[in-house]
């Protein structure tokens, strides 16, 4: 269990049980007492108010107000929320858009400045439009949950992406590309990338991508992606 998951597990345990001990938390998360003590200190540094009661019968408790005011979301998680709202709005199926926008604004406001900067950079790569009626979506599948975690460093650091791709005929190939944009044409989502082997932009349906990974090393340059007139930056749908 990595640090982030372990600390989240500690928070959940304290919320559900009301009080706990270091020994009990260590058993719950499968870590040493020393590790749990370091995690408690880190959580306090992030804004969680963890009370400790010394002596027999004492233990740790979490102030519920600190849970409500502390956001521990990653850039990819907030990005996923934003694009989900935007895609639903584009599809005309977001009846409570005002409340959704207000909630997202609060989440974004709680993010540290460096995460806000990364989030805005991520959003600048995202576009939305309308799917042409003749496009066949009968074979639409689910998207690999590893996509966004791989996309985040690839887009923010301009790192190459490698993945397996299955085309409309079912032929699978391995692709090595420069990710330039993400395009939502509800209900389909596309990765728009520069394919240096073909010297052209390619649109890859995200539900046909598997095992994506970003490649540390050389970085590519941003390119201007030509879109149709009905495609617009997603920022226009969030304003």
**Structure token pair of residue 159:** 């790192």
Q: Quick one: average pLDDT of 2-16?
A: 86
| Residue at which a domain ends, from 26, 53, 69 | 69
- Confidence label for 218 from pLDDT (cuts 50, 70 and 90): very high
| Residue at which a domain ends, from 25, 52, 69 | 69
Q: Quick one: average pLDDT of 172-182?
A: 97
What pLDDT sits at residue 153?
A: 92
User: How many Å apart are CA 99 and CA 79, to the nearest integer?
Assistant: 17
Do 171 and 231 belong together in one domain? Answer: yes
Do 80 and 34 belong together in one domain? Answer: no
User: How many Å apart are CA 104 and CA 73, to the nearest integer?
Assistant: 12
pTM above 0.75, yes or no: no
- CATH code, 12: 1.10.10.10
DSSP-derived 3-state class of residue 94: coil
Do 99 and 179 belong together in one domain? Answer: yes
- DSSP code, position 144: P
What pLDDT sits at residue 90?
A: 65
| Residue at which a domain ends, from 11, 42, 69 | 69
CA 25 remoteness from chain centre: 28
Q: Is the pLDDT of residue 196 over 80?
A: yes
What pLDDT sits at residue 46?
A: 78
Domain count of the fold of the chain? 2
Q: Is the pLDDT of residue 71 over 70?
A: no
Domain containing residue 40: 3-69
Q: Which has more confidence, 150 or 77?
A: 150
What pLDDT sits at residue 8?
A: 86
Do 99 and 198 belong together in one domain? Answer: yes
Do 88 and 171 belong together in one domain? Answer: yes
User: How many Å apart are CA 81 and CA 103, to the nearest integer?
Assistant: 10
Burial (Cβ within 10 Å: 0-12, 13-18, ≥19) of residue 78? buried
Instruction: Choose from 28-42, 95-109, 126-140, 203-217 the range with maximum mean pLDDT.
Output: 203-217
What pLDDT sits at residue 55?
A: 56
**Structure token pair of residue 224:** 């201007």
Do 96 and 164 belong together in one domain? Answer: yes
User: How many Å apart are CA 199 and CA 192, to the nearest integer?
Assistant: 13
CA 189 remoteness from chain centre: 15
CA distances from 90 to 17, 93, 129, 136 (A): 42, 8, 7, 19
Of the candidates 180, 190, 183, the residue with the CA atom closest to the CA atom of residue 159: 180
pLDDT tens for 98-144 read 777 777 777 777 777 788 888 888 888 999 888 999 999 999 999 99
Instruction: Choose from 27-41, 51-65, 114-128 the range with maximum mean pLDDT.
Output: 27-41
In this structure, the number of other CB atoms found within 10 A of the CB of residue 77 comes to 15
What pLDDT sits at residue 236?
A: 59
What's the whole-number average pLDDT of the chain?
85
Of the candidates 111, 161, 142, 117, the residue with the CA atom closest to the CA atom of residue 208: 142
What pLDDT sits at residue 94?
A: 59
């Amino acid at each position: 269990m990595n640090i982030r998951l372990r600390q989240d597990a500690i928070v959940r345990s304290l919320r559900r049980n009301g009080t706990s001990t270091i020994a009990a938390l260590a058993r719950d998360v499968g870590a040493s007492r020393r590790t749990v003590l370091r995690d408690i200190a880190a959580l306090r540094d992030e804004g969680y108010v963890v009370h400790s009661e010394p002596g027999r019968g004492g233990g740790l408790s979490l102030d519920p107000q600190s849970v409500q005011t502390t956001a521990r979301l990653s850039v990819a998680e907030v990005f996923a929320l934003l694009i989900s709202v935007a895609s639903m709005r584009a599809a005309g199926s977001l009846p409570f858009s005002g409340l959704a926008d207000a909630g997202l604004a609060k989440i974004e406001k709680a993010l540290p400045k460096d995460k806000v900067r990364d989030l805005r950079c991520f959003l600048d790569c995202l576009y939305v439009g309308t799917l042409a009626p003749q496009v066949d979506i009968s074979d639409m599948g689910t998207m690999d949950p590893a996509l966004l975690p791989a996309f985040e460093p690839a887009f923010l650091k301009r790192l190459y992406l490698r993945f397996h791709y299955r085309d409309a005929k079912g032929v699978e190939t391995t692709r090595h590309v420069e990710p330039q944009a993400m395009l939502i044409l509800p209900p389909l989502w596309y990765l728009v990338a520069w394919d240096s082997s073909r010297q052209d932009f390619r649109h890859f349906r995200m539900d046909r991508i598997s095992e994506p990974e970003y490649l540390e090393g050389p970085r590519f340059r941003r390119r201007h992606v030509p879109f149709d007139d009905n495609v617009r930056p997603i920022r226009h749908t969030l304003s």
